[in-house]
Structure 1
Amino acid sequence: MGELFTFFGLISHEHSFIFLTHMLLTAAIVLVIAKMATSNLRLVPTGTQNVMEAYLSGVLAMGADVMGKAEARRYLPLVATIGLFVGIANVIGVIPGFEAPSAFLDFTLALALVVFTYYNFEGIRRNGLISYFKHFMGPVWWLAWLMFPIEIVSHISRIISLSFRLLGNVKGDDMFLMVLLMLAPWILPIVPFALLTFMAFLQAFIFMMLTYVYLGGAVLLHDDH
């Protein structure tokens, strides 16, 4: 089975070129959407502003269920930006002639490292270095020798979980689309395309939810969340 056809691939099939061009295209689309939503702000939103406000309200509601509305609002810019970026990156791969940047480990691993570094930084900043790592030792002091290395491994495994979950799902969707277009190159199969689009947004939702969960677990050490 050959490689996916891409318009940028007509210039070069080099891995780094294909990844970089599609990632820059994703970033450009995100910036255009943000510009359209904020260029003419109105009290009663319309058009792109209305869509983006609905999106932000949904992300905020999701975060409020995880860590409370006040904390969710604090981290809304980060989570909403990641969600928009990942969502657009995934949807690009559904369009024939383009490949999702999230189908490259470079993309998913970088995002996972950003989330991992940031939630640990926030946990230390909000709770203090000693208090944050003391939480890794568990509720029973005499099991600290066992719990601490388990927690360390658990947190590091989140990098693998975040990056490879997104990579595997999007890469699988790309392979499915390639087979689909080989079998029916002239007739666009609407239902499979709709399913792929739904999966693209679902993976963005999962990434945002996990980001909120990890942030909540890091900053709310003494709460019941």
Structure 2
Amino acid sequence: MEGRVFTFAGLINSNHDFIIGFYTILVALLVLLFAKLATRNMQIIPTGLQNVYEFFISGIINVASDVAGREIALKYLPLAGTIAFFVFFSNAIGIIPGFESPTSSWSFTLVLALVVFFYYHYEGIKAKGFFHYFGHFLGPVKVLAPLMLPIEIISHFSRIISLSFRLFGNIKGDDMFLLVMLMLAPWLAPLPAFAILTLMAFLQAFVFMILTYVYIAGAVMEEDH
């Protein structure tokens, strides 16, 4: 019944998994639609939506270049950029009354975290080789290898929890905050709240994107020592 009250998708089916799946597909279609509109009529001097997308993409490249280097920033832009836009739209859609953020579901954020987790390990193995990549888990001092190996394993698996819970917790909290504001003062209070939540939607997408770059860079780059 809760889905029927607060979401349009709940009018079709009140099952929460269905609601999250419905808005996940909707967000994916919106990301594709806006990307198509932004690249439909490419111009040397960008205007309109093309200008907005080029601004954000150049921002992603510049920030990622500072974190991981220009080469890695460009090479992994398709993954990190797609994640950034997908997470932002997933966050932002929940600000609209009657919709729910897919990122307010831990199952959704867990899948995103697992995609990043397996992908950066795959890239690390491809770049360094299986034994060299996992050999790094043993640390530089062989005597300390039995101690370093479980620490490294726990450290990497904790990234799944960190990525998924950070995004889930923040967006779930934002949705609850907006719901309370709408109940207390439905006409005046939500106006500044919408601005704050839009900023948070952008910030959480940025954090997820930059951590994706950090993890990939750590997997494929050789240590100086």
Q: What is the TM-score when the length of structure 1 is the normalising length? A: 0.95
Q: How does 1:116-195 map to 2 (within 5 A)?
A: 116-187=117-188, 189-195=190-196
1:123 to partner: Cα distance: 0.3
1:223 to partner: Cα distance: 4.2
2:43 maps to: 42
Distance 2:88 2:183 in 1: 25
Distance 1:81 1:89 in 2: 12
1:100 to partner: Cα distance: 0.2
Aligned residues: 223
1:37 to partner: Cα distance: 1.1
Distance 1:174 1:149, change over 3 A: same
2:200 maps to: 199
In structure 1, runs of 5+ residues without a counterpart are none
Query: Is 1:97 equivalent to 2:98 in the alignment?
Result: yes
Distance 1:107 1:163 in 2: 8
Distance 2:186 2:65 in 1: 44
Q: Larger RCO: Structure 1 or Structure 2 (Cα < 8 Å, ≥ 6 residues apart)?
A: 1
Same amino acid, percent of matched pairs = 58
1:188 to partner: Cα distance: 5.5
Distance 1:193 1:42 in 2: 33
Distance 1:223 1:64, change over 3 A: farther
One-letter identity of the residue aligned with 1:194:
A
Bigger Cα displacement from structure 2, 188-197 vs 25-34: 188-197
Residues 135 and 221 in structure 1, CA contact (< 8 A), matched pair in contact too: no
Distance 1:223 1:52 in 2: 36
Distance 2:64 2:190 in 1: 35
1:206 to partner: Cα distance: 0.4
Q: What is the TM-score when the length of structure 2 is the normalising length? A: 0.95
Distance 1:216 1:9 in 2: 41
Bigger Cα displacement from structure 2, 186-195 vs 214-223: 186-195
One-letter identity of the residue aligned with 1:148:
L
In structure 2, runs of 5+ residues without a counterpart are none
Distance 2:43 2:63 in 1: 25
1:107 maps to: 108
Residues 108 and 164 in structure 1, CA contact (< 8 A), matched pair in contact too: yes
Deviations along 1:5-41, whole A, 9 cap, x unmatched?
Answer: 1111122210121011111110111011110011111
Distance 2:72 2:9 in 1: 41
1:173 to partner: Cα distance: 0.5
Distance 1:148 1:166 in 2: 28
Bigger Cα displacement from structure 2, 178-187 vs 197-206: 178-187
Computed over aligned residues only, the root mean square deviation of the Cα atoms, in angstroms, reads 1.3
